[in-house]
A and B are shown apart, each in its own frame.
Chain A
Amino acid sequence: MDLYLPIAEMSVNALVIIALGGLVGFLSGMFGVGGGFLTTPLLIFYGIPPAIAVASSATQVTGSSVSGALSYYRRGQVDMKMGAVLVAGGLLGSVIGSFVFRWLKSLGQVDVTIALIYVVFLGTVGALMLKEAVGVLLEQRRGVVAPRKARHHHPLIASLPMKMRFPKSGVYISPLAPFAVGAGVGVLTVIMGVGGGFIMVPAMLYLLGMAASVVVGTSLFQIVFVTAVATLLHATQSQSVDILLALLLLLGGVAGAQFGARAAQQLQPERLRLLLALIVLGVAIRLAIGLTWTPKELFSIQLALG
């Protein structure tokens, strides 16, 4: 079923895009991640122009995160105060990100930079996750119950001024730290078209030392707002948001997420994390290969407008 995308200015197979959204949705329902880090590269592999892929993927993440954010909110697992600080940081970060994006575009280095950032972040996060998951699985096999590490935040963060209490997260830290985390993720949201949960969740746990029960909900809360702002920035600055593309992805994504969430209940959490680590590493390796192997086409065209 061919469908013409008016903004991407190309015809795509609607069923393939819906299936792609469904696959990402399945994984995101299974692992509780937004899946933007899979959508953007998959769309680029399919042949969607990178700028359109990044912008439309951000729109899709908004939709796929909102129901999760709401259900965590109903269960009282969103720290609104912390969330507000993260969103404020995210807003600043996304504006910075949009300037960086424009600057890269003028240099003609958008594609390479997006791929490089993906390789670095997905490679690092994937390797860390793999190490942890394998370690836990090995210990389980030996019958050792791993002692829970005490929650604490990074010493560098403890030294920041203007400390505040965040009762729900159970921390007493300077708001500058979550603000910086939010800003960093905001930059990535605009440049990569991801929610950034795969970076924010570890940062909240290990850098900020937040209570695990509110981490995912608060991260989703931030993602909904910041990806919405990223959509607006892309729409106003480069007109690169393709509504039809985003809606097709969402159509598959929301259905896939329901199945993914059910499938997740059949698997042990440790196995799930191992699987996710392997997928994340796989995408990173695929992108790294694309960067280092001699490309089929050495030339590329950039239109003066757009």
Chain B
Amino acid sequence: MKRLLLLLLFLAAPLQAEPRLVTDMSQSRIDISYRFAGAELLIFGAIQYPGGIAPEEAPGIAVVLRGPMEPLTVRKKARVAGIWVNTEAVRFESAPGFYAVATTKPVRDLLDERNAAIYEIGLQHLQLSPATATDPETTGTFQDGLVALRTSENLFVEQPYGVLVTDRVLYRARLPIPSAVPVGNYQAEIYLILDGKVRARSTAPVIIDKTGFERDLFVFAHKHSFFYGLLAVMLALLMGWVAGEIGRRSQP
């Protein structure tokens, strides 16, 4: 497999001037079923260098998996009369529900701030579009709070040495997907970074969705919410009643 890939690269490479990225992954669709307790996405591929000659310098690779964007509000608790209540809030127009980045080296050693911000590589460089008019310092605090919270839930992941590069040509990264991952259309982005510059980029879509019974139940709960509620009540009544009958009969 590895040898074949290398061979293909040598055959295909000589014609182009810029390096290219070839990418594949273990699965382009992750199904959430009743046994879903998280998953791992393996993203791998090869770098095609012009002339087929790999440079002396070890290439930098960044692998990003980005979930669906959504607006959200971050609230901060403060003590009011001895009790911790939500006081300040900042609204962000577009925050990814999931964001994982794996790199060959820490992001700051790969790219400068400006480029990292342009390509949104690294948790510190997410562009969340704050909608509430506040000073940048407050917004920054809230953004840090959001990142810390999502990181603790494994919804935001940063793996500074998460990409392994073999022979300066083949790369692979394993990204962990937690069970609480939001469903939707994801995008995997792979960046080749040489001398602090992004030299090549490839993307691939990933779909994460509920499947089978889980999906049907979710759709039922949202499309026919009244009947879903009725079903919940009926099942609860039935179960309670049956248990009561069993208890009554089994009593001496």
Distance from B212 Cβ to chain A, minimum over Cβ atoms (Å): 10
State the CA gap A9–B218 with chains docked (Å).
9
Whether A298 and B145, one on each chain, are in contact in the complex, defined by CB atoms closer than 8 angstroms, is yes
Whether B74 and A299, one on each chain, are in contact in the complex, defined by CB atoms closer than 8 angstroms, is yes
Chain A, range 202-230, C-beta contacts under 8 Å to B:
224, 228
Residues of A within 8 A of B146 (CB): 299, 301
Distance from A276 Cβ to chain B, minimum over Cβ atoms (Å): 21
**Chain B interface secondary structure, helix, strand, loop or mixed?**
helix
The stretch of B15-23, B99-107, B132-140, B241-249 in contact with A is: B241-249
Contact status of A7 and B221, CB under 8 A, knowing A62-B233, A232-B229, A298-B145: yes
Distance from A141 Cβ to chain B, minimum over Cβ atoms (Å): 34
| B35 interface neighbour in A2, A64, A67, Cβ under 8 Å | A2
The stretch of B46-54, B82-90, B168-176 in contact with A is: B82-90
The stretch of B56-64, B147-155, B187-195, B199-207 in contact with A is: B147-155
Whether A301 and B73, one on each chain, are in contact in the complex, defined by CB atoms closer than 8 angstroms, is yes
Does chain B have a CB within 8 A of A22? no
Residues of B within 8 A of A239 (CB): 221-222, 225, 228
Does chain B have a CB within 8 A of A125? no
Chain B: interface size category: 35 or more
| A295 interface neighbour in B70, B74, B77, B221, Cβ under 8 Å | B77
**Chain A interface secondary structure, helix, strand, loop or mixed?**
helix
Residues of B within 8 A of A247 (CB): 235-236, 239
The stretch of A83-91, A153-161, A181-189, A253-261 in contact with B is: A253-261
State the CA gap A60–B235 with chains docked (Å).
10
CB closest chain-B residue, reference A4 = B36
| B237 interface neighbour in A66, A234, A301, A303, Cβ under 8 Å | A66
State the CA gap A304–B93 with chains docked (Å).
9
Show the binding face of A for B, using Cβ within 8 Å.
2-4, 6-7, 9-11, 59-60, 62-68, 70-71, 108-109, 112, 116, 224, 228, 231-236, 239, 241, 243-244, 246-247, 250-251, 254-255, 257-258, 261, 291-292, 294-295, 297-305
Show the binding face of B for A, using Cβ within 8 Å.
32-38, 70-79, 82-86, 89, 142, 145-146, 148-150, 152, 179-180, 182-183, 210, 213-215, 217-218, 221-222, 225-226, 228-233, 235-237, 239-241, 243-245, 247-248
